[in-house]
Amino acid sequence: MTIAESINIMKSLGDSSRIMIINSLLEKPQYVEELAARFNLAPSTVSFHLKKMEKAGLLRKRKDQYYMVFEVNQKLFNTTLKEFVSFPNIEKYVQDERINEYRKKVIQTFFKNGKLLKIPAQHKKRWIVLEEIAGKFIENKIYTESEVDSKIKEIFEDYCSIRRYFVEEKIMVRKEGKYQLIQQNPEKLSGLRKSYIDSIKMR
């Protein structure tokens, strides 16, 4: 089980109606209408809760003639609380979450409706912006300069600056007027990770 899966399971249980439904299903498998009648809830409401718990892996469903029967995932319910909260790489997960949040904030600040508003002056923010734009290109595909400019222009008018940064930051390689994405150096990415973490700690 991953940390994300554990968190989803705990979140899916954060509702009194879902706790009641789970308790009922621990007694025996039941269908939506049966649960709705038992707890005086609308079938649509019960279906909503069941889907949330099924997505988290707490429940399973099977078809029985005309009805969809829900039952608990016994294997998951035999998992101890200690197993739900014990992970070997918890620090890396927390760092990754912080990085993702920081990246999301930068994207929201500098992009609007898929268009880049301006190029960030700060290097780590600019790298995130460049990385986002580079995601529009296909790995291992060779592009002409006009093709690169055209794709960048869909996002930002100053395509010359973005194209230049692509080459300077070694996001793309340029050879004989042709461009191609470069597989990123792990050491460079590791340094960027540290830069992100440090910036987050200082906030």
- Do 125 and 190 belong together in one domain? yes
Q: Which residue shows structure tokens 């209408």? A: 33
Which positions of the chain have pLDDT values less than 50?
Answer: 186, 189-190, 197, 200-203
Which amino acid is it at 100?
Answer: N
pLDDT in tens, 14-57: 999 999 999 999 999 999 999 999 999 999 999 999 999 999 99
In whole angstroms, give the CA distance from residue 17 to residue 137. Answer: 46
Q: What is the pLDDT of residue 64?
A: 84
Domain boundary among 28, 52, 82: 82
- The total domain count for the chain is 2
- Do 56 and 149 belong together in one domain? no
- Do 117 and 35 belong together in one domain? no
CATH of the domain at 172: 1.10.10
The C-alpha angle with vertex 168 and arms to 201 and 103, in degrees rounded to 5, equals: 30
- Do 121 and 173 belong together in one domain? yes
- Do 18 and 61 belong together in one domain? yes
pTM for this entry? 0.55
User: Residue 134's domain spans which residues?
Assistant: 90-202
- Do 190 and 95 belong together in one domain? yes
pLDDT in tens, 122-137: 998 999 999 999 999 9
